[in-house]
Every structure is written in structure tokens, then in C-alpha cells.
Structure 1
Amino acid sequence: MKNTLLPDTQNKKDIRNIVINQVGIKDILHPINFVNRDNASHPSVANFTMTVELPANVKGTHMSRFIEILNDRECNFGIESFMNLVQKVADKLESNDAQVIVDFPFFRNKKAPSSGVQSLLDYQATLIGSIIDSEPDLSIKVVVPVTSLCPCSKSISKYGAHNQRSHITIEAKASEGEIIYLEDLIDLAEQKASSELYAILKRDDEKVVTERAYENPAFVEDIVRDIAVELNANKKVSYYCLESENFESIHNHSAYALIKNQK
């Protein structure tokens, strides 16, 4: 039975007259089922940050309501349905401004290029959904691990060339009425790298991957420019921020490049 005698301190009026732009919960882990491009559901564990705007005259928000939303039922969503969760936060917290950021490992089943052996490779995915003055806004981001091989090293070396693992990060927003999937961004990044990665490689596969990287050298500048060309031409994309970081194998630093574009 609800105890009506307990004071509701957070609902008291605040006299400082200052709006809090974002208030809520941060870094809460919760199981999810993510629906991919092929409409298949994949379980994962996500890190959530959930916030709303707090009016100037209200002392505090209802923190427990954020947790209630996550525990109300199974947390299932994909790119097309994620904004329903953000709207639920806005409605339950009675706010016109809400934001949900969710980070989670996204797995894809990949076949090795020669043997065909299958294995799961993980990508770090982020969905950022906002409602501002009741208007929805969604951006998706994914970090794609790849191989890059240095063109300069290949041109000056008598034997081989140095290569390294690289992280290509693409954040994108879709044009009105369009949908961009995580897999779309992953496919693009892997196509423009010297070589994509696999969790399992047999000897024949290792030969293919090594030679593929050698045949497709790319500076960090080449990677971001090649991807930007595709994103610029893609009418589904209204905004992107594209980064590449090469974890150098012969230096104790990374090579880095960034391109962003608001169409």
C-alpha cells in the first residue's frame, strides 16, 4: 500500500529559476535484443544514458522512472524502432526534451575468405536518440576494426610493408524518410580499408588477407576520403562525422584523420 504520508521532495518547487538541460541516469547496464538489418534479433548487453530536461521550477526528476522503463518489458529495438524508446522516456518523465544514448557490442557472422569458416566479429555500436521541443532526432555510430597498410612503406621497402590495425568510426544521420543501418556503415568501412578483419583465419585465409592488404595500401587520409566520397553521394545520409585512427606498428603514436559534413 502506498504511504501518502511520505514527503515527495523532488516534486517541490525550486526557487532558483534555472533550467537543467539534461538530468537522469548514466552508465546503467541492461540486456537488450537488437534487431538487425535482416530483421533478426540478437541479444547483447548495453550501456544506457537516459536524460530529460528539467523545468526551472521543479526541484528534481523522477530517477526511478528511467529504470522502470528499462524493466517494464524485454528491451527490444532496432534502428527503425529505437525512437519509440526515446518517446517513452519523454512521455513517462513528462518532458518535451529527452535523450537516450545506448552503447553495445554488435556482432556479425563472417565467413573467412578462403576456407569459409564462420566466426563472430564484434563492432562497438552507439545509438543517440533525442527529442527536442517534441522533434525526434537519431544518429547512429559504429567503430569498425580493419587493417591498413602504409603506401609509403610499400613503395620504399625492398621487403614487404608495415601495416596496422585501424579503427574507422562513422556517425551518421539519415535524411527524412530514409533509414541507415549499422551494417550499411560497416560494409562501407570494410570495403575502403586495406583489408577487413575476421575472428578465425586458417592458413589459406591468412594468405588471402595478407596479400589483399598489400595490394590495397591506404594512408589514413585515403581511408577517410574514400569513405567520404561514398557518403557524399549517398542521398540517404544527411550528416556524417567520419574518423580513422591507425594504431601505428612502427611508431608509438597513432595516425588520425576526421571529415564531417552536414548536407
Structure 2
Amino acid sequence: MEDVQKGQANIAMPIDRVGVKGLRVPMIVRDRESGTQHTVAEVSLSVDLPAEFKGTHMSRFVEALEDWSGDLDYNSFRTLLDDIVVRLQACSAHVRFVFPYFLRRKSPMSGASGLMDYTCRVDGELKDGKLTFTLGADVPVMTVCPCSKAISDEGAHSQRAEVRIRTRFDGFVWLEDLIEIGERAGSCSVFSLLKREDEKFVTEAAFANPMFVEDVVREAAKGLEDHPQIHWFKVEVESFESIHNHSAFAAIESTDG
């Protein structure tokens, strides 16, 4: 049958990335406490496309994913990217996995146990045989406004914020490491299950530790900077303001790649 994709493009212009997105697959990730954790990832796969080709072969992305082991680690991730490069006859390949990661958290006073879910991601680019591997986690925290606390006779406005961490590193880094760095950066952690004594503790702990969004991003950046394996990071904090019709945000990216 005719291979239309290999025909000449009407406009001879190279494409940086072309591929498929919105695929969902079961996946196994490393869990510091249990060894492994089963989850479901939303997947994007893409390659570069030279100017002379009309299109790429979309079905080959799905075939590569079908043949992938589903066990997420550096070696299997590299194997998937290598396979995509070969199947699509490309110079570069890109893969993204976005998935929920679950940790059981105990409430601070009652000890009540509840599952917290964190949106995590792995991004990979294989170009000219070199793999760039980026691991990230989005971590919810609570913040209390220092200015509001200083100028108010009673109380201060507080809100939930999200610490979005992206890292590159040598060796191995646990997702739990990134989550813990994010949680320590806020006024207080958030929990899925709180009894009355827990609510009292969380509220008072947060009000004793007021943080601007600028404070949170600096705390997170310092934690990432101090991690012995991490050699590059980007962290953004978004504060979902409770008294404004907008969010506040701050971001820091390290200079080393």
C-alpha cells in the first residue's frame, strides 16, 4: 500500500514535535515504603519530523507503548525512547508520563490515616543518543499571609498553594524526596483526613509560620539545592488566593543543567 506519510510535504518545513497525546496506560513506579506502586499514567509521545516528509506514522507510537514493559525506571524509559526513534526513523524522541502517586499520611495529633494523591510526571527527550530525564511532583500546601497577619486585629487570610517541582539528577531520587521538600516549604502541610484536634494543630501551626509565595519558593529551592543528587531544578509556587480574584506565583530555576 502507498506510504502517504513519506510523500513530499506541500510546505518544506521541519516540525519540532509531532505525535500522540492523551493515551492512558497502567504503570509501575518505585515506592520508598512498599517497593513498588501501581498507577495509571497519561502519556504523550512525539518525534521530530524532517522538512521533506509529509507526515509521521502515528500508529507506531502506540505500538512502541504496547511493547513497553510498563515498569517505570531510567533503563526502561531509555528503552522506550530508543524504540520510538528506531520505529519512526527520527533524530529525537520525547515522552511524558503524568500520573497520580499516593502516600498514606497520618494526621498530626489524632494519628488518623488517609491517602494523599500527588500529581507526578516524568519527561524524557532522547536527542543524538543523549537522554535528558526530568522528574517532577506537584505538592499542595497551606500558606498564611504575613502581611495580613501583621495588619489584622484578628486572624489573617490563608489559602492552599501548590509547589510544582521539576528536577534532573545523578543516580536515583525518590518521589517522596520531592514531595517532602515541597511540603516543608509551606506554612503547613495539608492532609486528606483531619479530626478536630488535627484541625486545631494545623491552623495554629500555619498561623505561627506565615509565608509569602516568595518565601515558599525560596524554601523549596533551598531544599532542592541541598539535595545531593539533584543538579538542576525548576520550582514554581502558585498561591490560590482566598481574598483575591487571582492567584499569586513565584518561580526559581537553577543555573546548572
TM-score > 0.5, shorter chain as reference:
yes
Structure 1 residue 138: deviation in Å? 0.8
Deviates more, 1:76-85 or 1:96-105: 76-85
Q: Which amino acid aligns with 2:2?
A: P
The residue that corresponds to 2:180 in the other structure is 187
Q: 2:3 aligned to 1, 8, 24, which one?
A: 8
Distance of 2:9 and 2:159 partners within structure 1? 55
Distance of 1:61 and 1:46 partners within structure 2? 24
Structure 1 residue 123: deviation in Å? 1.1
Deviates more, 1:71-80 or 1:90-99: 71-80
Distance of 2:149 and 2:162 partners within structure 1? 21
Contact 2:145/2:212 (8 A) holds in 1: yes
Mapped pair 1:167 → 2:162? yes
Q: Deviations over 1:119-155 (max 9, x none)?
A: 1111111211000111100112211111001112222
The residue that corresponds to 2:133 in the other structure is 138
Deviates more, 1:44-53 or 1:164-173: 44-53
Distance of 2:34 and 2:60 partners within structure 1? 29
Q: 2:78 aligned to 70, 74, 83, which one?
A: 83
Mapped pair 1:224 → 2:217? yes
Distance of 2:230 and 2:216 partners within structure 1? 18
Distance of 1:222 and 1:201 partners within structure 2? 26
Distance of 1:224 and 1:252 partners within structure 2? 21
Q: Which ranges of structure 2 fall in alignment gaps of 5 or more residues? A: none
Deviates more, 1:122-131 or 1:37-46: 37-46
Mapped pair 1:197 → 2:190? yes
Question: What is the correspondence of 1:87-126 to structure 2 with a 5 Å cutoff?
Answer: 87-126=82-121
Q: Which amino acid aligns with 2:193?
A: I
Q: What is the number of equivalent residue pairs in this alignment?
A: 256
Name the TM-score, length of structure 2 as normaliser. Answer: 0.90
Distance of 2:220 and 2:6 partners within structure 1? 50
Mapped pair 1:55 → 2:33? no
Q: Secondary structure at the match of 1:140?
A: strand
Contact 2:181/2:224 (8 A) holds in 1: no
Distance of 2:249 and 2:157 partners within structure 1? 17
Q: Which amino acid aligns with 1:193?
A: G
Structure 1 residue 100: deviation in Å? 0.2
Structure 1 residue 73: deviation in Å? 5.6
CA 84–52 in structure 1, closer or farther in 2 if over 3 Å, else same: same
Distance of 2:34 and 2:53 partners within structure 1? 42
Q: Secondary structure at the match of 1:252?
A: coil
Distance of 1:96 and 1:195 partners within structure 2? 46
Q: Which ranges of structure 1 fall in alignment gaps of 5 or more residues? A: 1-5
CA RMSD of aligned residues (A): 2.1
Percent identity, please: 39
Name the TM-score, length of structure 1 as normaliser. Answer: 0.88
